[in-house]
Amino acid sequence: MKFIIRADASREIGSGHIMRCLTIADQLKKSGHDVQFFMLPLQGNLINYVQQCGYNTITMWQMADVIIVDHYQIDASVEQKLYAYANKIVVIDDLANRPHICDVLIDQNIIEDYAYRYDTLVPKTCVKLLGPQYLIMRDEFVEARQHRRKRNNNVKQLLVFMGGTDPTHETMKVLEALEKFTFEKVHVVCGNGNEQKAAIQLICEQQGYCYHQQIDYMAKLMNEVDFSIGAGGSTTWERCYVGLPSSSTIVADNQTETTYFTEKLGAVINLGWHEQVTSETYKGLLAFIQQHPEKLSMLSKQGLQLTESNGISNPWIKELLEMNT
């Protein structure tokens, strides 16, 4: 089958949509299907990166068997027109704030009553794949979960990753907080879209931290470290999936509900909305995790339980491949 994925990346949008769509593309390609990306050349786009990953990119619609849409600016009014180009439409969403016309909807997030939030937003015939059992996970994370190391909750190694673009400059706040603490090793990860990456790299070199940029070995890092300071969004689920205790800072509106509910379930430390989070907040967090190892054990356990899918990794792929086109 031929699949076209409609998603964008930019300094405002971030990189999360493209990164999870690349995971989908890799699974489809591995099964022998043709995959292309429809992307616009926005400022901070990842078109070159997607091409480097082995996928053609287009800017005009072509005929396909299935179109996969992962875009907050697209709703039922656009999706209806896409049936002129494909037999089936798959939508990936996590906002539940607009109607969709599609055959399959995937939302890997969890909030109160998540199982019912799309009931009035999609056709009755739509197959709804909802909750963290339908996580979109790269193979490296599946392998890391299967071979995760036993943690002793003594925080010697720290990971800092605030998303591909870090639009609210959380990394700099964390680096300022780290000046008062000593860890055996600190890993700092930036995406290519991070406007402060050069300054961050310089600080890391001065402080002896390990700097990484636009990496494809995040799961390996997560398995090595003892705690991660991160943003809300899809990387929260990656950390939970491999049992890595972590904090989340909310850097976008669409992260709010999920972050608070994940905190309620005991799987993450929620630091709150980024405008209220300062370097002092991160200093308090660093002190807390050194003084409360029992909390880290609970976070790891709850994260693993929350992302359990009966031993089946990426069960959503079966639904996509069995679609009758």
The domain 2-135+311-321 having CATH identifier 3.40.50.11190: the answer here is yes
Residue linked to tokens 């929350």: 306
- Does 2-135+311-321 match 144-306 in CATH topology? yes
pLDDT > 60? residue 311: yes
* Average predicted confidence (pLDDT) for the chain: 94
User: At 324, is the pLDDT very low, low, confident or very high (cuts 50, 70, 90)?
Assistant: low
The pTM (predicted TM-score) of the whole model is: 0.86
What is the pLDDT, as a whole number, of residue 65? 96
What is the rounded distance in angstroms from the CA atom of residue 220 to the CA atom of residue 35?
27
pLDDT > 70? residue 189: yes
What is the pLDDT, as a whole number, of residue 182? 95
What is the pLDDT, as a whole number, of residue 22? 96
**CATH no., domain 144-306:** 3.40.50.2000
H/E segment holding residue 237: helix 234-241
Residue linked to tokens 């800092």: 160
Domain locations in the chain?
2-135+311-321, 144-306
CA dihedral sign, ordered 93, 19, 190, 235 = positive
pLDDT average, residue stretch 67-74: 97
What is the pLDDT, as a whole number, of residue 123? 97
Q: Which of 103-107, 162-166, 281-285 has the lowest mean pLDDT?
A: 162-166
CB 158 within 8 A of CB 285: no
pLDDT > 60? residue 241: yes
pLDDT > 90? residue 13: no
What is the pLDDT, as a whole number, of residue 325? 55
H/E segment holding residue 236: helix 234-241
pLDDT average, residue stretch 40-45: 93
What is the pLDDT, as a whole number, of residue 309? 81
What is the rounded distance in angstroms from the CA atom of residue 322 to the CA atom of residue 85?
19
